[in-house]
A and B are shown apart, each in its own frame.
Chain A
């Protein structure tokens, strides 16, 4: 070994190639099989997709760095299951480009926060967490209610998502903007079409309590309310 090295360290190109080869093995052995082994991700034929409004909310979650304080990955440990609900399965983030599993819990896990609180609670909490949880150290996000959501390019977003593998249909892409507005404006004519495209369970409400505009608050609350609800496969079946 030392003899070989003694030769290699006299040739810069050989040394560089040796480094690349030695360093690549680990990644190849661990990552490549994840794409080919079928059992890696469970199957759920009824998996729903994020609606355009929820996807926009997810992008706000990314933009504001919520993932720096919140995980979305309940581990297979008893106390986590007791605290947050059934542990997370791979299929639940199958369409998450990128995943938001997180690495730090300064705040609680959010993988199953959907439906845990009312829309009003979330809006008040995001406007100022200390209004509802006096001891909270979460930042305030009061600008979200005042900022109108950008909806005009949601179609492009869905198309990019389709390019990376999320099965959005042509109709979903074409109607992305209308669907986003419809989801936050109950009574809208497009409501039916939206539910047909994304499933009956799609939540159509004025999330931020203000029916006049579609704000960023609408989007992020819609996203939070759907967390943990896109797949029914929360309990491992047949294991």
Chain B
């Protein structure tokens, strides 16, 4: 195993006038070394504003680590990461704040971080609740709603900060198969609204349908990337062919 020296550079450049098609994220030679494993190895990746990228790959291939490197939840060990804007994240296990109502979950960060006043934070939250179809859950605590509803609240919470890039880390993996649809439905709406999104997912059909580009990772590296058509119908590498066999 190669140990990597520590000189990761993360630049976050806040550009207000980013247009569709401008670069929103650029990664060059990204490595992430954990004490006993190299989770991400020499990843180069860039994406445009408005683009929807799906990351697929077997468990342990470094998908989450790469995603978490983008918003600083993991400190990258080496490489350069330029981010032109802010991120929001949706987690596999929702991570809603259980001591706050759904409405408060959504308004809390805008009020604290952006000093938005209560009234406009709540108005915004109500329109987001409408978007995710949960207006009636505003005053309910997260402990009292289903997993699919929690994840929809979590999406609304992330959107409330108006991120330039949304990161989804297996948003439906903790849900029963019959309720993944309600979450994917909300994500589809966002995709239609031209949000920039990176989605780590095991939902191959969803990736095929919604993503502009699909990235296949294995062993910490990007093995192959391309349009959904290229990746799913004409895989080049043996590892991707092997992987697709296991998921279908």
A binds B: no
A residues contacting B by CB (< 8 A) are: none
B residues contacting A by CB (< 8 A) are: none
